[in-house]
A and B are shown apart, each in its own frame.
Chain A
Amino acid sequence: MLKIVLSISYIVSSVFLPWWVTVALGIALVVHFKLWWVAILGGLLMDLVFGAPIAALGGFAYLFSLLFVVLSLLALMLRQRMLE
């Protein structure tokens, strides 16, 4: 139940709340609940709605999607290392 509530809160926050709230919820989703695919979808939603080519990043516009993909991979690698 908490997973569902947090996932919905995360998706809603990606549109209506400041980006740092969404990132914090996304980290919780990835690290604690292993809902990495929800986190990546939320990041993609943020990039589709708010994204614009960023000059400092060479025109890259999908920053949050990349952030959550990297975070998910990192969490997966760390989890496997800790389990070994």
Chain B
Amino acid sequence: MITRSKYKLVRFLPLAVLLIVAGFALLFRNEVRLNVTRLLVLVPHAGVSGTSAGYQTILYQKVVEENARLSSLLSLPRAEVIAAGRVVAHPPRTLYDTLVVAIEPRTAVRRGDLVFFEGILLGTASSVTRGSTSVVLYSSPGASTEVKVGEPTAIVVMKGLGGGAFTFEVPAAVSLEPSDLVTSAATDAVIAIVRSVSTEEGSASVRVYASAPVSMSDLDLVEFVHPY
């Protein structure tokens, strides 16, 4: 028979379970993240089965390392690709234009590293744990980056709107059309493609809307580069 005092204790049981489990989860957040990322790697993605996806990631990482070694031997100027990773989660599974990328535990990826997909600059690594990293895309709401666009070339601050969309303002004197490329001011890598240009009569600037040139669902293997 449940007495009054035992009933009071039982009422607080869910809260106690929540606090204990949450405490352990926060204490071992890196392990939680690593193990869930391992599960996500096994999920078929972009038409590739989970097990071969892991194998592909390892192969791609070896190709990246060999390419870097050969470029160094030949003294070829190139950005130093330090690691490759596989995108295991992207919007709409994640919120606010972020990616979860599975990486080899021994890689030298660190917070702030640039993330590329087939030469397109996507964003930066925001948090790195052993085996996985979160990438915040430049299209994430509130994110901003300096870009070059138009003729004559203007350097402007482009802001993310979410969903792969961007917006920025350029002086009216800058010639700009839909399908023009928007490149990073720091790396000259393509970040976005102009979709629409809206002008207001009498205004000295025009509002430009752009979008990422690649779909979130197409993101597969990405490369990490130290900022330069």
A binds B: yes
A41 CA to B89 CA, complexed, in Å: 20
**Residue A44 interfacial (CB < 8 Å):** yes
Interface size for A (C-beta < 8 A) is 25
**Residue A49 interfacial (CB < 8 Å):** yes
A40 & B18 in contact (Cβ 8 Å cutoff)? yes
B204: chain A residues within 8 A (beta carbon): none
Main secondary structure of the interface of A (DSSP, over half): helix
- Binary per-residue interface labels of chain A (1-45) against chain B in the complex, 1 for a CB within 8 Å, 0 otherwise: 000000000000001111110000000000000011100110011
Chain B residue with minimal CB distance to A69?
B18
A37 & B143 in contact (Cβ 8 Å cutoff)? no
A82: chain B residues within 8 A (beta carbon): none
**Residue A63 interfacial (CB < 8 Å):** yes
A44: chain B residues within 8 A (beta carbon): 22, 25-26
**Residue B211 interfacial (CB < 8 Å):** no
- Least Cβ distance of A55 to chain B in Å? 3
Q: List 8 A-B contacts (CB under 8 A).
A: A35-B14, A40-B18, A50-B93, A50-B100, A51-B134, A53-B126, A54-B95, A63-B95
Q: Given A15-B40, A50-B98, A55-B142, decide whether A45 and B92 contact each other with a Cβ distance below 8 A.
A: no
A36 CA to B11 CA, complexed, in Å: 13
**Residue A66 interfacial (CB < 8 Å):** no
**Residue A52 interfacial (CB < 8 Å):** yes
- Least Cβ distance of B119 to chain A in Å? 23
Mark the stretch among B29-37, B173-181, B195-203 that contacts chain A.
Answer: B29-37
A45: chain B residues within 8 A (beta carbon): 25, 32, 36
**Residue A48 interfacial (CB < 8 Å):** yes
Which 6 A/B pairs are nearest by Cβ-Cβ distance?
A55-B142, A56-B142, A18-B92, A37-B18, A52-B134, A56-B141
Main secondary structure of the interface of B (DSSP, over half): mixed
B89: chain A residues within 8 A (beta carbon): 49-50
Interface size for B (C-beta < 8 A) is 35
A20 & B143 in contact (Cβ 8 Å cutoff)? no
Chain A residue with minimal CB distance to B141?
A56
B37 & A55 in contact (Cβ 8 Å cutoff)? no
B14 & A36 in contact (Cβ 8 Å cutoff)? yes
- Least Cβ distance of B129 to chain A in Å? 10
B18: chain A residues within 8 A (beta carbon): 37, 40-41
B141 & A55 in contact (Cβ 8 Å cutoff)? yes
Chain A residue with minimal CB distance to B37?
A49
A20 CA to B92 CA, complexed, in Å: 8
A17: chain B residues within 8 A (beta carbon): 93
A54 & B142 in contact (Cβ 8 Å cutoff)? yes
B98 & A37 in contact (Cβ 8 Å cutoff)? no
Chain B residue with minimal CB distance to A20?
B92
A36: chain B residues within 8 A (beta carbon): 14
B96: chain A residues within 8 A (beta carbon): 52, 54, 56, 63
